[in-house]
Amino acid sequence: MCARSPILWLAVAGMTVIVSGAARADDIHAIADRVLACTVSVSCRIEGGSFSGSGFVVSPDGHVITTASVVPVGATDITVLLPGFQRRPASVVAADESLSLTLLKVAVEEPLPALTLASSLPAIGDVAFTAGDVDDVMLANGRASFSRGVVSGLYDVEKQPEAAFAGRVIETTAAVNPGSDGGPLVDAAGRVVGVITVAVSPRRWQGVAVPMAILLEKFAPLKSGDVQTTVDAAEPPSSQPPLAGLSRAAAAVAPFLVAVEVERTWPPERLPRDSWDEYRRRLNGWDKLPPPERRKQFAAFATRARTLDVNQLLRRPSGPATGLVVSADGFVLTSSFNIGEDTAYVVKATGQPRRFTADESVEKLMADPEGGFVEKPNAIRGVTVVLADGSRREAKVHARHEPLGIALLKIEASGLPWFDLAAAATSPQLGDHVAAIGLVAAAAGDVTLNPGIVSAASRNRGYRFQTDALLNYGNSGGPVVDSAGSLLGIATAPIEPDTVMGRIFTLSQLMRWSRAPNSGVGFVARADRIRAVLEELKAGRTFERFPGPFLGVQADESRALGDDVVIGFVAEGSPAGKAGLKKGDVVVAYNGVELGAWRELTERIAAGKPGDSAVLTIRRKQKGPRLVIAGRDVETLEDLERLKKTLAPGETFEGRLVADDVREVKVVLGENK
């Protein structure tokens, strides 16, 4: 097993990168060559299994830094794979579990290239690089992988199952994947600013590193100078456009951010994830187990850890969400996701969500409780807004706009510093550089910055746009700005379809989640659309549906990936219902234009206006010929009653038998209200 948190790698692989003048292509090649010449693979054995990860050389005489998650206490057979397929045995010189750090020493015949260590913290928005033995790439290529991103946050984390470090970490958008832990996080000058760790924040699910500035101060071998390292105290290179502009925009909007705390019926669920050492200590008679049984137990632990890690990603974490003050008298914008209800799987026998314990096997964790579950919403009991000065105000959900995915909160206040949305709002353009801004903690004043681009300017009928900036629990509800400081929108839900608690899902069941935090596909409520409805929201109007024309049909999801536009549901009393459309009908054309996807039908409807007439060509399976009277199909008594209501007294008509299963149906579009 590799000492990694599997869900972390799921969540942060393939991260967004913005090119910065602080690190040109020729600079990057030089930095990559320098860093990869010093990045190593580290593996070891423990009782019952093995651990592996990355490390980097910090002294010419062979000292290597890695993490305690790669080389835990009691590890044996430690091996370091140097670039160029050079395999060397290594020994532990020092370890500090509280810092999640291990210092190794390999024997050398000649001096090794070593990385320079930075004694200062980088700034949010600075260019950053990660290097590591991702998926055993060093065995194939002879050197580690290399990725570029930015420093996206500086904040505190709590102790994790496989990482005892608690305190300030450096978050990055550079790729962090299986095998990255223990590797270096370097700045645009090629200096190590942090050591990649598995101490991930459940609110962010992004790669983080323990700052080298902290390690130089607290890790005894580095603090004492016993290890011959090179330390550089110079400030990191400053960012250039567009990162510099995005950083300025983030700083400009930061004073108007607030924390949104939501109390629900059941508190956030934290699954019993633990380290191998904790798991092993709970096993009775471990010392007497034969080697095959120890390996079996280690494999069971690895499966359990993967299952719990992936499922934890689906849980709404504890901690505040992000909001934006948009009026002096206390209106706050956030995402409707932040004040939404989770799905709670409640045990029928107890009326409470199931509680999972550390001593349960993966089979028991996944087993349904006796009597089964019932799904209930985890209803909201109260909302609190924490202002920048630390004061707390009770908030009410004043209005929602579900098509946009936003909510407007109201607190009792006056004279608040507020963000002028009407003046700053602008329309997104494909390729625009943007940054999603989030608040780290209530009243902390620190923000996070996830850069990206506008990857689709219009989604959800033009109410939202798509970005590859990483959206997560921490920045949902936060503003998305461009490098000129304009507001492009508010980040919406980071996960789809929903957040859950009280149940463990199998890998096959997890396929229902089409989008996870930091997937690289995020949706943002467009600021120009928010501006158009903000006054109505302030007046208390809630928008449950997309305003505009309405037909009243839903797709047959079981056939949604095919070429046919198949109706799966017809709303009673809707325009479609009045026109006689039925479940199972295949919509072939709309006003004579052939359709090949459900999206094409919705686009045609959205282009119209309430009251417009349209002719739908549909295909419906039938048994034998059907009767058509006055242009209407009469196949049931209900069809006959509908026909009678359309005829005037004394009106005459003609009928005919038709064998073709394709027909035309006239509909009059209604209005969503």
Q: What sign does the CA torsion over 652, 657, 660, 661 have?
A: positive
Q: Find the Cα–Cα–Cα–Cα dihedral 7, 11, 17, 18, rounded to 10°.
A: -130
Q: Find the Cα–Cα–Cα–Cα dihedral 207, 155, 484, 321, rounded to 10°.
A: 90
Label residue 662 by pLDDT band (50, 70, 90).
Answer: confident
525, burial (CB in 10 Å: exposed 0-12, middle 13-18, buried 19+) = buried
242 occurs within a structural domain: no
306 occurs within a structural domain: no
247 occurs within a structural domain: no
Above 50 in pLDDT, residue 357? yes
**572 shares a domain with 485:** no
Q: For the residues of 96-158, what is the DSSP string, one character each?
A: EGGGTEEEEEE--SSPPP-PPEE-S---TT-EEEEEE-GGGHHHHHSS-EEEEEEEEEEEEE-
Total domains, the chain: 3
Domain with residue 344: its CATH number is: 2.40.10.120
Domain membership of residue 599 as a residue range: 548-672
**122 shares a domain with 75:** yes
pLDDT per residue as tens digits for the range 386-430: 998 899 999 999 999 999 999 999 999 999 999 999 999 999 999
Is residue 501 within 8 Å of residue 353, measured between CB atoms? yes
**333 shares a domain with 199:** no
Label residue 15 by pLDDT band (50, 70, 90).
Answer: very low
Q: In whole angstroms, how large is the CA radius of gyration of the chain?
A: 29
Tell me how far apart the alpha carbons of residues 330 and 342 are, in angstroms, rounded to a whole number: 26
**456 shares a domain with 494:** yes
**555 shares a domain with 534:** no
**609 shares a domain with 500:** no
**443 shares a domain with 380:** yes
397 occurs within a structural domain: yes
Task: Give the predicted TM-score (pTM) of the model.
Answer: 0.83
pLDDT per residue as tens digits for the range 453-508: 999 999 887 899 999 999 999 999 999 999 999 999 999 999 999 999 999 998 88
364 occurs within a structural domain: yes
**436 shares a domain with 479:** yes
**562 shares a domain with 413:** no
369 occurs within a structural domain: yes
520 occurs within a structural domain: yes
Q: Quote the percentage of the chain above a pLDDT of 90.
A: 68
**466 shares a domain with 580:** no
| pLDDT for the residue 191 | 97
- List of residues 6+ apart from 37 with CB closer than 8 A: 83, 113, 143
352 occurs within a structural domain: yes
**3-state class of 197 per DSSP?**
strand
**265 shares a domain with 190:** no
- List of residues 6+ apart from 70 with CB closer than 8 A: 3, 42, 44, 51, 52, 53, 54, 55, 102, 181, 182
**333 shares a domain with 461:** yes
Domain with residue 607: its CATH number is: 2.30.42.10
